[in-house]
């Protein structure tokens, strides 16, 4: 008969009492271990305490340097990771009150683009210290103020020439000469155009919270106000001669002008409401039952097409050189705007826009 040997470590053989105690407790320990393991498995994985998970909060340090001299302007301490660039601009304004947020331009690199206010500061961080370059954008104005000022001037200036002020025209000559009906129609169409722009600025267009330099508004006002003065002076002059083809030319051109104005308005309304049920802009505006929106089938910027059509029609209706020059410059400018916007549409809405022209139908 061979007796079964219980293996044991050599160092335990010198203490028989210890071996006996360990052997006597082995069954109870095994049961306790089995019960404890079963309890842990039935309870699920042990989760760490949430208080320990976010016990450490990280702040960023934003260093702002001058773009030209590379000198340090200030350091913003304890900037939370959830802060946006607009929050950083407000902190910078508190440190340097002479620069309010709208005139502060911040760049990540010296030759890089200006960063948008909505960018999260954490997305720019490579370490706990973020370096940004500062540029003074100059005095700023809001977009609503920009357009209201730009469009109010032509409306009032044209009316001043229409009533034939004594400081502009000779009163004796003004009384002798009869005003052709096209002069009154031109005043109505011109005022209608700018009143539409003003009302759409207030109630239709959705401008961002951004700003534009004051010098841009001054340039726009000089252009619009100056051309309006030149146009109104000739159309309302006592010696103004009516169009060559008379009533027929005026009537057809006025009808085309009114149609373009209506189309421009309906396109602007469609662009302002190009949202889905959740309120997100997800697709390019599609034509509706309104015939004026069918131009979306041919071009990506029909608002510029209608705007150009308005001024071309106004040129034919009045048959004056200043209006023709203004219409020519407007068509060139709007073509550049349409081309730039068309490129943006191609990036966002490629399948819907790829077969459309930018502003003039058929020309791709």
**Cα dihedral: 307, 308, 310, 313 (round 10):** 180
β-pairing verdict for 129-136 and 140-142: unpaired
Binning pLDDT at 50, 70 and 90, where does residue 35 land? low
Binning pLDDT at 50, 70 and 90, where does residue 178 land? confident
| Res. 75: pLDDT tops 60 | yes
Strand order in the sheet with 104-107: 72-79, 60-66, 129-136, 104-107
Q: What whole-number percentage of the chain has pLDDT above 90?
A: 57
DSSP annotation of 165: -
Q: What is the mean pLDDT of residues 173-178?
A: 82
Q: Higher confidence at residue 175 or residue 73?
A: 73
| Res. 344: pLDDT tops 90 | no
With residue 285 as reference, give the H or E element that holds it: none
Q: E-strand spans in the chain?
A: 60-66, 72-79, 104-107, 129-136, 140-142, 211-213
Map residue 115 onto helix, strand or coil: coil
- Greatest mean pLDDT among 100-104, 289-293, 355-359 lies in 289-293
* pLDDT tens by residue, 286-343: 788 999 999 999 999 999 999 999 999 999 999 999 999 999 999 999 999 999 998 9
Map residue 129 onto helix, strand or coil: strand
Q: What is the pLDDT of residue 172?
A: 82
Q: What is the pLDDT of residue 5?
A: 44
Which range among 51-55, 58-62, 103-107, 328-332 shows the weakest confidence by mean pLDDT? 51-55
Map residue 186 onto helix, strand or coil: helix
Q: What is the pLDDT of residue 330?
A: 97
| Res. 32: pLDDT tops 60 | no
Question: Residue 213: beta bridge partners?
Answer: 140
State the CB neighbour count (10 A cutoff) for residue 8.
11
Q: What is the mean pLDDT of residues 160-174?
A: 89
Q: What is the pLDDT of residue 287?
A: 87
Map residue 240 onto helix, strand or coil: coil
Averaged pLDDT score across all residues of the chain? 84
Question: Residue 270: beta bridge partners?
Answer: none
| Res. 209: pLDDT tops 80 | no
Q: Higher confidence at residue 171 or residue 62?
A: 62
Q: Could you tell me the pTM of the whole model? A: 0.77
Q: CB-based burial of residue 238 (10 Å sphere; 0-12 exposed, 13-18 middle, 19+ buried)? A: middle
Residues of the chain with CATH 3.10.20.90: 60-138
* pLDDT tens by residue, 261-289: 999 999 999 988 875 444 445 677 778 89
Architecture of domain 60-138: Roll (3.10)
Is the CB of residue 301 less than 8 Å from the CB of residue 338?
yes
Distances (CA, A) of 153 to 38, 163, 229, 261, 273: 84, 16, 10, 19, 29
């Amino acid at each position: 008969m061979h007796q079964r040997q219980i293996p044991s470590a050599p160092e335990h053989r010198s203490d028989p009492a210890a071996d006996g105690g360990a052997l006597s407790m082995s069954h109870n320990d095994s049961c306790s271990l089995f019960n404890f393991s079963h309890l842990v498995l039935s309870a699920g994985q042990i989760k760490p305490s949430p208080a320990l998970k976010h016990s450490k909060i990280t702040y960023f340090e934003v260093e702002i340097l001058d773009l030209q001299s590379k000198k340090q302007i200030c350091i913003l301490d304890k900037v939370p990771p959830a802060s946006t660039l607009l929050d950083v601009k407000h902190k910078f304004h508190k440190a340097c009150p002479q620069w309010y947020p709208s005139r502060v331009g911040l760049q990540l690199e010296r030759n890089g683009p200006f960063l948008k206010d909505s960018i999260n500061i954490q997305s720019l961080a490579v370490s706990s210290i973020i370096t940004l370059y500062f540029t003074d954008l100059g005095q700023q104005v809001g977009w609503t103020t920009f357009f209201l000022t730009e469009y109010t001037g032509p409306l009032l200036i044209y009316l001043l020439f229409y009533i034939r002020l004594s400081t502009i025209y000779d009163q004796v000559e003004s009384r002798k000469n009869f005003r052709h009906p096209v002069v009154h129609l031109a005043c109505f169409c011109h005022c209608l155009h700018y009143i539409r722009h003003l009302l759409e600025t207030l109630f239709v267009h959705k401008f961002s919270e951004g700003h534009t330099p004051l010098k841009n508004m001054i340039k726009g006002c000089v252009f619009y106000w100056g051309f309006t003065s030149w146009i109104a002076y000739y159309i309302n002059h006592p010696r103004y001669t009516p169009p060559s083809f008379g009533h027929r030319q005026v009537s057809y051109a006025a009808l085309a002008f009114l149609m373009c104005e209506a189309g421009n308005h309906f396109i602007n309304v469609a662009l302002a409401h190009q949202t889905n049920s959740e309120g997100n802009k997800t697709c390019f505006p599609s034509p509706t039952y309104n015939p004026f929106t069918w131009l979306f089938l041919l071009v990506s910027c029909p608002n510029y097409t209608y705007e150009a059509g308005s001024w071309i029609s106004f040129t034919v209706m009045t048959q004056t050189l200043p209006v023709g020059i203004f219409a020519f410059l407007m068509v060139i400018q709007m073509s550049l705007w349409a081309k730039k916007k068309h490129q943006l549409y191609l990036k966002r809405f490629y399948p819907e826009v790829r077969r459309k022209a930018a502003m003039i139908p058929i020309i791709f």
